[in-house]
Amino acid sequence: MEKNQAQTKTGNIAYCGLYCEKCPKLVKGKCPGCAGNEKATWCGVRSCCIEHGYKSCADCTMYGDVSECRQFNSPIAKIFGFVFNSDRAKCVRYIKQNGYGAFASRMDEMNRMSLKRGKD
């Protein structure tokens, strides 16, 4: 994979740890992805990461674990995780442990936007 292609894929990791590269809306050109979505001012996680200069919650130093953060664990996020069987906290932990490139590669291999709850 060329360097620019790899940078694009890691650039499509959302602030909350989702992998936008595999999102059907991004693929169809109906969404700019998390980082490029200027209309997503409602997202507390995105706002916090931008304010602190983080690429994602994996870069946060305010909490020992992302599950301690109220912004990350809002009621909407919990519903989203349940409905889509998504474990964003597991994604953030994976990024912290293995890096952005390894996470993007794993999600590409699995052809998914997120690690699943109770699996992976």
Q: How many domains does the chain have?
A: 1
State pTM to two decimals: 0.87
The 10 Å CB-count burial string (b at 16+, else e) for 88-110 is bbbbbbbbbeeebeebbbbbeee
The answer to the question of residue 54 being in a domain is yes
Within-domain flag for 1: no
Q: Kindly state whether residue 94 falls inside one of the protein's structural domains.
A: yes
- Rounded CA-CA distance 94/19 in Å is 12
Residue 17 forms part of a structural domain: yes
Residues written for the chain? 120
φ, ψ dihedrals at 110, nearest 5° = -85, -10
81 located within any domain: yes
pLDDT tens sequence for the chain (120 residues): 545 455 557 889 999 999 999 999 999 999 998 888 888 888 899 999 999 999 999 999 999 899 999 999 988 888 888 888 899 999 999 999 999 999 999 999 999 999 998 877
Range of the domain at 64: 9-110
